[in-house]
Structure 1
């Protein structure tokens, strides 16, 4: 069975989708079979993987029961399998709201591709609504992304409340993997204080690796290429983060493969 990892944040602009894109890439480089599910109606992850914005079927079709998850998989140019999204997903969320067992919809849908992958990333929308709850109920682990700024602690606390909601009778085995600073300028006192505040409150749940803030991520998104290929110096951050997460997930062989391969394609 695939390890399902939901990546979420309390708001937009925390680098969450960028994190999913590059963690999927680094895990693939470690030799794992990787899929990513875009659960954001904005479809930014799908765009970052260079999928046609008109591609069909999408996660919307899966959630409303029109197609099976396997039929909605599209292979991105870099080899990651993606179930894409677009604005029609917002309609599906409204339809789900009146459905019995609505929180279990994604979990049931992903059973059809469980045996085909080692890891499935779930890119949650930048809010804590029904689609995010679906992701958390379907997931084995939750990873929070946060920006290194004053409100980071508040955002993490709010996201943790939703994780507890998902655990309460819906997914009691859901593990909080930790929180990662995905937009950080640790040269500034403000960012270092935000990091220290999270470390004080959450200890080892704050991952050691912080992703450096850079305009290069916007450039790599525009070109639809991995930061590891666009700016290998910055890509070292994601290789280090992937190594940490692979260790926490117990995927020691993949971690060694990533370290030995140094991110080679």
Structure 2
């Protein structure tokens, strides 16, 4: 079971959208996947079509100190699983550990070291159920984000091709390094996913080159372009791999390439 956190220390870069794209790709590629929604806004939960009772949320599990395997007890199937076409390949599964405002208790900069293993503990023992865990983090460096990093094998930092996002990505990568130095947890690897790219924009192409110069092999290939179809699919709470049209097919292929790279990197 590989645990991957989707992070950004700058809002508005499409972090949750990337998490949804990766979840769609994982399902299409036959992976048993769990999405853990740590963000108090719970956008990933909504986008995956899940409505869970308040007693069964990630925030409630963490408040109870993350009992061993507790996330397995609140995981619910996303309706996306029913959208999968078995003829497209081996059938995966997609569960969601729902987010809610209850997580906001940990939406703070201060924390106790003993709190950081709560998510890791809540995922213990789920290896037989899932191949991949995607953790959608809040867009800031708080206790929730640090819990996610402590539990993760890999952190993907989401960036968009803008001056401010380049600076935000630098902050994220620096924060990961500082987290490793200042705690007993180590993140095995990190990467940068470039999202919302206008393929015809000279400014965007410049920023993509800048990100590649700054982070080199850490930049994930391919980039994710900005397509109106992406907003339509998300508005319908539907997987991009099941949305019609060439633009949707292009996005789907890009997310599948990234997911296959994530899975193959640990084989």
TM-score computed with the length of structure 1 as normaliser: 0.86
Indicate the residue corresponding to 2:157 in structure 1.
144
Q: Compared with structure 1, are the counterparts of its residues 31 and 71 closer, same or farther at alpha carbon in structure 2 (3 Å cutoff)?
A: same
Aligned partner of 2:255 among 220, 241, 245: 241
Deviations 1:141-175 (A, max 9, x none): 01111111122321111001221133223322521
Task: Write the distance in 1 (CA, Å) between the matches of 2:4 and 2:235.
Answer: 25
1:58 maps onto 2:71 in alignment:
no
What is the Cα deviation at residue 7 of structure 1?
Answer: 0.7
Contact 2:198 2:225 in 1 (8 A): yes
Contact 2:57 2:99 in 1 (8 A): yes
What is the Cα deviation at residue 55 of structure 1?
Answer: 5.5
Indicate the residue corresponding to 2:15 in structure 1.
16
CA RMSD of aligned residues (A): 2.2
Query: Secondary structure in 2 aligned to 1:183?
Result: coil
Task: Write the distance in 2 (CA, Å) between the matches of 1:38 and 1:141.
Answer: 16
What is the Cα deviation at residue 15 of structure 1?
Answer: 1.2
Q: Which range moves more in the overlay, 178-187 or 166-175?
A: 166-175
Task: Write the distance in 1 (CA, Å) between the matches of 2:63 and 2:201.
Answer: 46
Contact 1:182 1:212 in 2 (8 A): yes
Query: Secondary structure in 1 aligned to 2:264?
Result: coil
Task: Write the distance in 2 (CA, Å) between the matches of 1:239 and 1:71.
Answer: 32
Return 5+ residue gaps in structure 1 as ranges. 254-265
Q: Compared with structure 1, are the counterparts of its residues 195 and 122 closer, same or farther at alpha carbon in structure 2 (3 Å cutoff)?
A: same
1:220 maps onto 2:219 in alignment:
no
Q: Which range moves more in the overlay, 5-14 or 96-105?
A: 96-105
Deviations 1:189-209 (A, max 9, x none): 110110010111112221221
Q: Compared with structure 1, are the counterparts of its residues 41 and 248 closer, same or farther at alpha carbon in structure 2 (3 Å cutoff)?
A: closer
TM-score computed with the length of structure 2 as normaliser: 0.86
What is the Cα deviation at residue 217 of structure 1?
Answer: 2.3
Aligned positions of 1:109-148 closer than 5 A:
109-148=122-161
Indicate the residue corresponding to 1:78 in structure 2.
80
Return 5+ residue gaps in structure 2 as ranges. 82-93
Indicate the residue corresponding to 2:115 in structure 1.
102
What is the Cα deviation at residue 54 of structure 1?
Answer: 4.3
Count of matched residue positions in the alignment of Structure 1 and Structure 2: 250
Q: Compared with structure 1, are the counterparts of its residues 71 and 97 closer, same or farther at alpha carbon in structure 2 (3 Å cutoff)?
A: farther
Task: Write the distance in 1 (CA, Å) between the matches of 2:113 and 2:220.
Answer: 37
Contact 2:6 2:155 in 1 (8 A): yes
